[in-house]
Amino acid sequence: MTDVTMKVWRGDASGGAFENYSVTQQEGEVVLDVIHRIQATEAPDLACRWNCKAGKCGSCAVEVNGKPRLMCMTRMDTLPEGPVTLTPMKTFPIIRDLVTDVSFNYAMAEKVPALLPPPMPEGGYVMFQEDVERSQEFRKCIECFMCQDVCHVIRDHEDNKQHYAGPRFFIRTAELEMHPLDTNDRREFVREEMGLGYCNITKCCTEVCPEHIKITDNAIIPLKERVVDAHYDPVAWLGRKIRRKTKMSSTEAAVQPAP
């Protein structure tokens, strides 16, 4: 098999540089296999994040030749010939080498108003397959945060993180809004606090999603439509004021007693 040069970014918040590792490629290997081999031999302190090595946990996202990829799902033999460049995700602060600080996403997750279902009837809820399928698509998300990494609203503008949640949290909100049991209303939240309006539908997020979730078409665009209807239609606005409860915060929703 052939030798390949892995150009791996090494360093921390104070700076760093590429280091080259020459490895012999073996049949059927993915990028993460090669990184593990480098760790076990030349560079035992090379930092990378990974867990399942099966494309199910979303831990090992880095940028392979400049594009966000899961290392465990990227076959070496699918990459173009020549050196393979590995860099940490650009949108998030560096911890070390290929590991970034993704706490932005966990802070955002805390803000999303929780599911607010009606009390469970005897024998459980009745929901039909066609009604659960829409939200099921979004619940396939493995939280690799590659959609966040590639979204230029925060990739290229650090200060937008103050008022923009990113694609992961648009599908999370869409999932809850389309959940058959939900009675919460997040439309003002998604407009005002998650900055949905900043998204200009370039579909970069959809392209990188390893679960092939149609983030833009099935979550962002329908959410934008709902928000527009809610915000600008005076009849809908009045109706909402009259019929619906005030939106609960996630903490309030969480303390709803569980039967």
With 0-12 / 13-18 / 19 or more C-beta atoms within 10 angstroms meaning exposed / middle / buried, residue 71 is buried
Applying CB under 8 A, among 15, 81, 128, 246 the residue interacting with another protein is 128
Cβ 41 to another protein shortest distance, Å: 8
d(C-alpha 154, C-alpha 53), whole Å: 28
In angstroms, what is the minimal distance from the CB of 217 to another protein? Answer: 19
* Binders of another protein in range 184-223 (CB under 8 A): 212
Residue 66 near residue 75, CB atoms below 8 Å: no
Asked whether the beta carbons of 92 and 100 are under 8 A apart, the reply is yes
Q: Which of 39/218 has CB closer to another protein? A: 39
Name which of 173 and 224 has its Cβ closer to another protein: 173
Q: Please, are residues 89 and 62 in contact by the beta-carbon 8 Å criterion?
A: yes
Question: Which is nearest to 224 in space by CA: 183, 167, 179, 181?
Answer: 167
How far is residue 71's CA from residue 252's CA, in Å, rounded to a whole number?
39
| Beta carbon nearer to another protein, 242 or 255 | 255
Contacting residue, 65, 160, 218, 250, with another protein by CB under 8 A: 250
Q: Tell me the closest approach of the beta carbon of residue 31 to another protein, in angstroms.
A: 10
The residues in 221-240 that bind another protein, with binding defined as CB under 8 A, are none
Binding mask 30-69 for another protein (x = CB under 8 A): x--x-----xxx--xxxxxxxxxxxxxxxx----------
Contacts for 125 with CB less than 8 Å, ≥ 6 apart? 117, 181
Tokens of 27: 């049949």
| Residues of the shown chain interacting with another protein in the complex, contacts defined by CB under 8 A | 12, 26-30, 33, 39-41, 44-59, 73, 75, 95-97, 99, 101-102, 106, 109-110, 114-115, 117, 120, 124-129, 132, 135-136, 139-143, 176, 179-181, 212, 250-251, 253-255, 258-259
